Structure 1
Amino acid sequence: MEENLNKDQNQEFPEGSGQDIKRDFRGLLEGVKVFLADLLDIRKNTDQEATKESIVADIPFKGHTSWILICSIFIASVGLNANSTAVVIGAMLISPLMGPILGMGLSLAINDIDTLRRSLKNFAVMVALSVITAFLFFYLFPLRDESSELLARTAPDIRDVLIAFFGGLALVIARAKKGTIASVIYGVAIATALMPPLCTVGFGLAIGNFGYASGAMYLFTINTIFIALATFLVIKLLRFPMVRYANSQRRRFIARMASIVAILVMIPAGFTFYDVFQESLFKKEAKQFVTNNIVPYELPGEGRYLENLTDIQYNHGEDGFIELVFMGNETIPDNVIATWNTQKNTYDKLKNVELKIVQGSKNQELDQMRYVSELYESKKAELLSKEQQIQVLKEEVGKMSKLVEHQIPFQEISAEAKTNYENLTGLGFSYTITTDFNKLDTIPVFNVQWKKGLPAQQVKTDSQKLTDWLRLRLKNSKIQVREEQN
């Protein structure tokens, strides 16, 4: 019986079955490896000589190319000024800026110092001509609105780095293929958007806003560096032949110089990626903090938080701030602000960031029309007709009028009070926030000081008269007067 059992087991698990499974598994892995290699390998269908010739041919900048660049700059500037995405895309398609950038990446990869020199020279001329043309357009053109298309090119983030790098990869791979894929080249020209940042630099210089100009130039620099870096990596991966020089000493010198320049390009690219990545993390945490802690807070009365006016500034990890704008006739309690600061400090990137609170009641000179404009912008998508637009604006102006009515004109009140009450030597004003744990209430409180030595009865009588006068004058029955004798 035991023999039969052993036979059955041997039949179910034949000797050597473990080795067969391992062998089959290795075969499966080899098959997957061969499949992926065949799927992803781009070396077999690469035309190295044609690729190099096409890139080098696009480097020169003179004659027709210079006029094409000038025309594309004008088109892009008009499109940015008119806030027209379609026009901007058209300008990007005809712009010849990509040629010298690919030339820099190629020359560094194959140690071609002559091509590198020509690429840098033509690139510098292209950038200078582009900025000057855009500057003249915006300086002389009477309409210089800060459109969303322009402002979008003043603050690069981590997505711009990724777009430039992967766009550069796609472009070089498409150029290297036998039979260049034109649609990829056009798509990369649109995605990486080299032309609009240069136009924005000219716009910033024309209106004297160097913050716009520097931000746009930073975006253009990011695009340039990472497109050139992607070109360098692809050319190295495809093992393009190195340029050989007859003089061995010169060959070694050129190789060293090309390597040094490549490293000098990669180092700032790495720092740029890290800095932009940190800024993206900072802004993400700042927006999370605002969404989770500020937006849910309900201000009493007509007060509201103007989310569209939130200003989040990142200053490379130092002196950054989050500015929150509130409108209303009642101030936010200090304990609420302290709680927000505590909550802010729970975010790693926000611990050293200043939380700025701008409140309408404490900043009477804050432009009220800014409030209406912000509110209208946030609601205009919901409006279907001009009548609705007018009605919304009327309602908001009415609310603003109520806010203004509740403002205490302290300077006028103090002057009138001094005229009416000769024994008055000092007057102070503040809001006191109280609660019965069901709702908050804001009480206007006047602190008064009377001449020293006045009889208590006279102080009491004058304080009551002052209270009645203030309530009548300001049309607010909640006003209280507190006595403080000298």
Structure 2
Amino acid sequence: MSEEQLKTGPRTDQDSGDEVKKDFKGLLGSVRKFLSDLLEIRSNTDVTTTTESIIADIPFKGHTSWILICSIFIASIGLNANSTAVVIGAMLISPLMGPILGMGLSLAINDIDTLRRSLKNFTVMVVLSVITAFLFFYLFPLRDASSELLARTKPDIRDVLIAFFGGLALVIARAKKGTIASVIFGVAIATALMPPLCTVGFGLAIGKPSYAAGALYLFIINTIFIGLATFLVIKFLRFPMVRYANSHRRRLIARLASITGILVMIPAGFTFYQVFQESLFKKQAQEFLSETIGVYQFEGAGRYVDNLTKIEYNDGKTPLIELVCMGDELIPENVVNTWRTQKSQYSRLKDAELHIIQGGKDDSQEKFNYVSELYEKNKAELLNKDEQIRLLEAEVSNLSKNAEKQIPFKAISEEAKANYENLSQMGFSYQINTDFEKLDTVPVFSIKWKDGVRSSQKDADIKKMLAWLKLRLQDSTLVVKEVE
């Protein structure tokens, strides 16, 4: 037996078990601390600045009104021309997000005055947007229903999730000390508030109220879930409630805010449930099609045109699954009946009608040619969408890069003034240099010192300031110059 064992006595199974438990508790503590450091956001939240910035974006008049009108025109032109890049540009300059965030914030902190202003400005914003889009599409001679327009007439579960998580990202970014501009750009693109309003105006201009209703429904979904995300994040971050001197008024405001919040959550929950049910129906319909018509072998020249398949949930009415087959070969009736029997085995497809349009039932060559042209047209549109996706990814990448290059000049100048008492003036600009082979853009800070400062002191301060700015802005290319 070793000397250590003689001193402490022999180790028992209980001692070993205690050590294992101690190690396990230490591991859990380390994991908990790591997750806390990784996901904790309250400590880096700027409550005052966030509240002030959201409230400052609520007013909707003067410059903001004209910016909205211009962005609506740009979005309408982009949708009409089927140009994704133009629509993205319109979304980035649109001020639509301000009143929506204001509504979520005011409900979370019981600020009835801010809620009233937000609702008023939101209503004016929507009416002005729809009128502007209506006038454009009513007066503009080219009013074809492009794929970009039609894509905003039928919301699904993905739109709900995009709006909710986009709203979460936006509010978290706004609450952070030093707002993350690239996140705000990304949310403006993802939630897409502008195109649905333009599509409402388009539907009214061409006399298609179903288009307008579908697009307005999509806009309402985006609005509700962005506002709901704002409400939840503000509550989670524990923003202070607005205090009222009159206790009776304070209780009344709290009740009104709570009732309004519940009234907002009820349609949000109902909308999510409804859209979720439609999504499940379409998923089962796709599974049914892949197991039936998808594996059916045509013996002759027949062909199933999957791009023209119509799956309609028709909430409150009879759902519809409509297939299009082209060619002279008819699908036997017994096969169709077998498919109908298989359809009934899917819980969500039992009441759906199955229609099969077959080119062979009509000997007209014109009908065959029409279906063929329709097939090729949809095929071309799918190919164009791949190119649009690549263009969209490139635009988002450029926006992110530009956001990263933005200089918070106001904060930098205030910090510089606090650190350098001899500093008199400070300026900033981008300087473009070239060696006639390539262009370089260099951020340049120009500074001016107070009179009477020694040259040695100036040189030392400039060197120190340059090192500080490079570290502060994470940019090794910037330059500090003294101006007279």
Same fold by TM-score, threshold 0.5 exceeded?
yes
Distance in 2 separating the partners of 1:372 and 1:177: 55
1:122 aligns with 121
Consecutive unaligned residues in structure 1, runs of 5 or more: 1-5, 384-486
The match for 1:324 is 323
Match of 2:137 in 1: 138
Q: Secondary structure at the match of 1:298?
A: coil
Q: Distance in 1 between matches of 2:224 and 2:293?
A: 39
Indicate the residue corresponding to 1:58 in structure 2: 57
Question: Is the contact made by 1:136 and 1:206 (CA closer than 8 Å) also made in structure 2?
Answer: yes
SS at match of 1:22: helix
Q: Matches of residues 78-97 of structure 1 in structure 2 within 5 Å?
A: 78-97=77-96
Say whether residues 1:377 and 2:381 are aligned partners.
Answer: no
Relative distance call for 1:351 and 1:230 in structure 2 (3 A) is same
Contact 1:107 1:113 in 2 (8 A): yes
Describe the superposition over 1:416-440 as per-residue Cα deviations: whole angstroms up to 9, x where unpaired: xxxxxxxxxxxxxxxxxxxxxxxxx
Q: Deviations over 1:15-45 (max 9, x none)?
A: 5111121122112112211221122111111
- Relative distance call for 1:255 and 1:213 in structure 2 (3 A) is same
Q: Distance in 2 between matches of 1:133 and 1:49?
A: 36
Shift of 1:110: 0.4
| Distance across 2 between alignment mates of 1:380 and 1:225 | 36
Q: Which residue of 1 aligns with 2:306?
A: 307
1:15/1:302 CA distance change after superposition, 3 Å: closer
Structure 1 residue 251: Cα displacement: 0.5
Mapped contact 1:298–1:304 kept (Cα < 8 A)? no
Partner of residue 167, structure 1:
166
Within-5 A mapping of 1:283-432 = 283-316=282-315, 318-362=317-361, 367-377=367-377, 380=380
Corresponding residue of 1:262: 261
Alignment pair present for 1:106 and 2:105: yes
* Equivalent-residue separation in structure 2 for 1:129 and 1:295 (angstroms): 47
Residues 318 and 352, structure 1, Cα contact 8 Å, conserved in 2: no
2:322 match: secondary structure: strand
Contact 1:154/1:219 (8 A) holds in 2: yes
Give the letter aligned to residue 106 of structure 1. L
1:293-315 residue CA offsets vs partner (Å, 9 max, x unmatched) = 11222334333222221111002
SS in 2 for 1:16: helix
SS in 2 for 1:294: coil
The CA deviation string for residues 256-302 of structure 1, in whole angstroms up to 9 with x for no partner, is 00000000000110111111111111111111211221122233433
The alignment's TM-score, normalised by the length of structure 2, stands at 0.74
Alignment of 1:148-187 (within 5 A): 148-187=147-186
The secondary structure found in structure 1 opposite 2:38 is: helix
What do you get for the CA RMSD once the two structures are aligned? 2.1
Contact 1:306–1:374 (8 Å) recurs in 2? no
SS of the aligned residue for 1:312 comes to strand
Contact 1:283 1:312 (C-alpha < 8 Å) held by counterparts: yes
The equivalent residue for 2:394 is none
Q: What TM-score do the two structures reach when normalised by structure 1?
A: 0.74
How far the C-alpha of 1:368 sits from its partner, in A, is 4.1
Distance 1:44 1:263 in 2: 29
**CA deviation profile, 1:331-369 (whole Å, cap 9, x unmatched):** 322211110101111222111111012223445688444
Larger radius of gyration: 1
Q: 1:318 to 1:94 in 2, by over 3 A?
A: same
Q: Which position in structure 2 is the counterpart of 1:202?
A: 201
Q: Which amino acid aligns with 2:148?
A: E
Contact kept in structure 1, 2:359 and 2:367, CA below 8 Å:
no
Q: SS of the counterpart of 1:53?
A: helix
Gapped regions of structure 2 (runs ≥ 5): 384-484
Q: What's the CA shift for 1:381?
A: 8.6
The C-alpha deviation readout for 1:160-208, integer Å capped at 9, x for no partner, is 1111111101100111111111111111101110001111111111111
Query: Which shifted more, 148-157 or 372-381?
Result: 372-381
**C-alpha separation in 2, matches of 1:254 and 1:226:** 23
CA separation of 1:324 and 1:258: change in aligned 2, threshold 3 A: same
